Amino acid sequence: MIENNSFEIYEFLKDKNLLLNLPEYWWPNVGTFKILIGAILTQNTSWKNVEKSLKNLDGFLELDSFSTLNELTLKEMIKPSGFYNQKAPRLLQLSRNIKNDFNDFKTFQSRVDREWLLKQKGIGKESADAILCYACFRDEMVVDTYTKRVLKAFDIEFSQYDEYKEYLEKGFKENLDKRKLNLIYARFHGMIVEYNKKYL
């Protein structure tokens, strides 16, 4: 039984082999600019729709090539994942800001922080943590609807995003040496999404 520790939830999910036949860190193409685009496109829509938009964007999924797109073309390309009138200008502004403040994606990856991301239009806490975790290899747990649903199944509920995040990360900090985290939050979050799809 789960007492009061997120690490126990991780071990419960791990036993179910939910990431079998999926990418090692669950989100395809970890550590790439494509993740950043996917993290914004997935807001308020299903991953299936995001995959359609990403397919349309083939050849433009690097910072430099993406930045050459004009807004109208981009809107057409990302139509399958909805809210394209909002998402297109926000994505273009974000890529411009990355170029201005970090010059290239590799520098962005190693230097960006949560504060910078949260200042960008259209990036809230969930998207910021997804970008930090999956695009920038940081030890940041993502809290989304799937995460809350799994915790609720274990009778664990909070009112604030930060409370969920603190609960989820605390269990790992208490049970694992920090050096052994090794993108474990990426796998944990992936297991949570897959558990939702299979069991909830």
Provide the binding-site residues for ligand 39A, judged by CB under 6 A: 27, 42, 47, 193
Pull the structure tokens for residue 68.
């050459």
Q: Minimum distance from CB of 45 to ligand 39A (Å)?
A: 9
Report the residue number, 74 or 135, with the smaller CB distance to ligand 39A: 135
Report the residue number, 7 or 117, with the smaller CB distance to ligand 39A: 117
Q: Minimum distance from CB of 42 to ligand 39A (Å)?
A: 5
Tell me how far apart the alpha carbons of residues 68 and 48 are, in angstroms, rounded to a whole number: 26
Report the residue number, 27 or 105, with the smaller CB distance to ligand 39A: 27
Pull the structure tokens for residue 104.
């290239």
How many CB atoms within 10 Å of residue 64?
12
Q: Residue written as tokens 């179910």? A: 16
Taking phi first (over 0 means left), then psi (-120 to 50 degrees means alpha), and beta for anything else, what does residue 183 get?
A: left
Residue nearest to ligand 39A (CB): 47
Report the residue number, 98 or 192, with the smaller CB distance to ligand 39A: 192
Q: Minimum distance from CB of 193 to ligand 39A (Å)?
A: 5
Q: Minimum distance from CB of 130 to ligand 39A (Å)?
A: 8
Pull the structure tokens for residue 116.
């910078």
- The CA distances from residue 58 to 52, 64, 65, 77, 99, in Å, are 10, 13, 10, 10, 20
